[in-house]
Chain A
Amino acid sequence: MRALTPAVMKGKITPDDTEAIDQTLQSFDTLMDDLSDPVVAGVHQAFDVLSFAPTRGLTTGQWSAWSKASLEDAESALARLRDSGIGLLNAIYAAVIRLIISAWYLIPENAATTGYPGPPEKVVNVLPKKAPAAEATP
């Protein structure tokens, strides 16, 4: 993920911008919490294919660890998944890029880079009524 993020988000994130990568991965984790168990299981399977050294090498050409991958390596890995004649690999490509892209654009300040001024402001946000918090008794 760390290696692929700057390749997917080229033009927005450079490989040395750890802060932006961390922020995207954090957003990705939140996104995973919002999906369902079957979807999360599918995502894990996709990442297993990309992590396990033999399948990683065969499917992406990235034989050394992802931590050693350059931006060009990551781009070439993505292109191999995208251009493969095997539907499953195309599906993995689609899932990986959709998750990373969504994670990045779900962050409101990133959404603003598209020329989107944002939604109207909701001013009187009545939260669902909760039982009054247990007040500390003096």
Chain B
Amino acid sequence: MTDLSTIRLGNSTDPYNDAAARGWDITDASQLTSSLELEADVVIVGTGAGGGTAAETLSKAGLSVVLLEAGPLKTSSQFDMQERAAYRDLYQEGTGRGTKDGGMVILQGRSVGGSTTVNWTTSFRTPPETLKFWGEHMGVSGCSVDEMAPYFEHMEKRLNIHKWPQAPNNNNAMLQRASEKLGYPWATIHRNVRGCLNLGYCGLGCPVDAKQSMLVTTIPGALDNKAKLIHHARVVRILRDGEVVKGVEAEALTPNVRGATGQTITVRATRTILAGGAINTPAILLRSDAPDPHGRIGKRTFLHPTTLTMAIYEESIDPFYGAPQSIYSDHFQWQNVHTGPIGFKLEAPPLQPAFAAGFYAAAGEEITQSMDKLNHTQCMIALMRDGFHEDSQGGAVEIDDNGNPLLDYPINDYLLEGVRRAFNVMLEMQFATGAKSARPAHKQAKHYMSWKEAKAAVTELDVAAHKSTIGSAHVMGGCPMGDDPKRSIANTDGKFHHLDNLYIMDGSLFPTSIGANPQLSIYGLVYKLSSNLATQFQA
């Protein structure tokens, strides 16, 4: 077995260690003792894949940029690879975020760099099937494979996205081996890393800054270009003068980001860009009473609802170590694009213990005995491609009385059919590669000892919403782009249809889910939109 606990890592890679010497303008709003008023060419709300990319592009064009982030600034010097601190500091609601009825857990980043600080580095261009569907069915112009290619190329180069050259860890190797055995096509994943040590802690914050997240690439790039970063600043609403957006108003949050300090941050800007992610961006529009004549804001929010199976092998798997995701299979993904049952992508996740235990969704000896063998455990996940079929309309973002966002995403039969099918596919793959036992993520399931037993059991299981474990790490949609204002929120430049000077530049623009891990889709699209916006300024 592998033991990485004897490795000693320093903190010399952290670019924020000498932020002052670099002349970076960073404000921790939790420490403000009076309210702050600023002016800028552009204010960007959010510092994730969308906000980070837009900030670098626009600041490079010579525009003054203010970046607002509700979460804290946490950098690699503080990334100690311990689960508790990472979930507390780097995830929305301390990983407690879920859908309104509790049917799905949602993992979403919440610190400078957004989800890019904690994602697993998996990088796919938007699949051609998805772009074609948008063009043909969702009224999206200008986003064909050829039109998008140069923007993806640019961001791939910027973030050192390349095919992972090292051997997959055993958790991923098992997915490859199972695919080969059953004749499913598989491929190696591209990752945004530079000098990766293959440790496996991408989800807890890269301790050596190998991950080319926004935290260490575009945000430093923007800071070098004199952009101003304010963290612990939660945007409450956009500021308007009639039909014209004038900036945003934010509240300063306490150091633990649980409460407001009472200080406000007002940024007046020529252009306002929302990039808070597909839950927070629609929530800001809803809190601001933004015009919405066709009732579209927050609707059709997608999650790639994901389910899983766990299997125990004789050999060591050590699923907590090594590049988290390096192999995938799309065999079940594109058999139909928008007709027929839901498609899903097969991948493997990293399994640090508390995370794995949460995934298991079991109690008593069923979980404690299973967890005793975590170092021999392999996990498969199926990410379902929602938003293409008419029976898959996604969820709706709402705000509660305090303005907190909630995502109402009922799990329907169309999705549950996919869950049961995915259980079968993944269990068969695990037994085909010699699993001693395997268990679908269903509260009433147990470890089954053979494919025959598992198959019979899955047929009998009550695959209902709260009995099956379904989660999400990809929130998309809710502010769809498109040419028709009746069906979309923003045009294909990202400009909000019903107000001037307001732009959306994040994954909320997607009219469906992506059908692949979305980070590169956001980078490419936002690079395109922000480049166009920079050109407009220069005109």
Contact = CB atoms under 8 A, between A and B. Distances in A.
The binding surface of chain B is classed by DSSP as loop
Contacts of A42: 102
A84 B372 CA distance: 29
Contacts of A93: 443, 466
A119 B81 contact: yes
22 contacts: A7-B364, A8-B363, A8-B364, A9-B364, A11-B365, A12-B368, A30-B84, A39-B97, A90-B443, A91-B101, A105-B353, A114-B356, A116-B353, A116-B375, A119-B80, A120-B6, A120-B9, A122-B79, A123-B9, A124-B11, A124-B12, A126-B11
B342 interface: no
Nearest to A97: B363
Contact of B93 (A36, A101, A110): A36
Contacts of B444: 82-83
Interface of A: 7-12, 30-31, 33-40, 42, 75, 78, 82-83, 87-88, 90-91, 93-95, 97-98, 101-102, 104-106, 108, 110-111, 113-128
Interface string B359-379: 011111101110111111000
Given A11-B369, A102-B354, A115-B375, A124 B103 contact: no
Contacts of B207: 120, 122
Query: What are the 5 tightest A-B residue pairs by CB atom distance, in nearest-first order?
Result: A115-B375, A119-B81, A90-B466, A39-B96, A114-B374
Interface residues of B, number: 73
B368 A125 contact: no
B358 A102 contact: yes
Contacts of A91: 101-103, 466
Given A10-B365, A90-B443, A122-B207, A38 B8 contact: no
A94 to B, nearest CB: 6
Contacts of A36: 92-94, 96-97, 258, 404
B98 interface: yes
A123 B8 contact: yes
B500 interface: no
Interface in B1-54: 1-12, 14, 17
Nearest to A91: B102
B199 A120 contact: yes
A83 B461 CA distance: 11
A79 B538 CA distance: 65
Interface in B330-369: 352-354, 356-358, 360-365, 367-369
Nearest to B98: A39
B451 interface: no
A120 B465 contact: no
Contacts of A98: 105, 358, 361
B361 A97 contact: yes
Interface string B289-332: 00000000000000000000000000000001000000000000
B371 A105 contact: yes
Contacts of A31: 84, 94
Contact of B354 (A9, A10, A40, A106): A106
Contact of A120 (B8, B98, B103, B368): B8
Contacts of A83: 444
Nearest to B359: A98
Contacts of B372: 113-115
B7 A120 contact: yes
B452 to A, nearest CB: 25
A87 B101 contact: yes
A115 B10 CA distance: 25
Given A8-B364, A82-B443, A106-B354, A35 B371 contact: no
Interface in B203-225: 204, 207
B400 interface: yes
Contacts of B358: 98, 101-102
B8 A121 contact: yes
A48 to B, nearest CB: 15
Given A10-B363, A30-B84, A38-B404, 13 more contacts: A7-B363, A8-B363, A8-B367, A11-B365, A11-B368, A34-B84, A78-B364, A97-B362, A113-B371, A115-B373, A121-B6, A122-B81, A122-B207
A111 B78 contact: no
Contacts of B82: 108, 119
Q: Which residue among A40, A105, A108, A125 has the maximum number of chain B CB atoms within 10 Å of its CB?
A: A105
A28 B444 CA distance: 24
A123 B363 contact: no
B83 interface: yes
A119 B94 CA distance: 20
A104 B367 CA distance: 12
Contacts of B4: 117, 119-120
B100 to A, nearest CB: 10
B88 interface: yes
Nearest to A82: B443
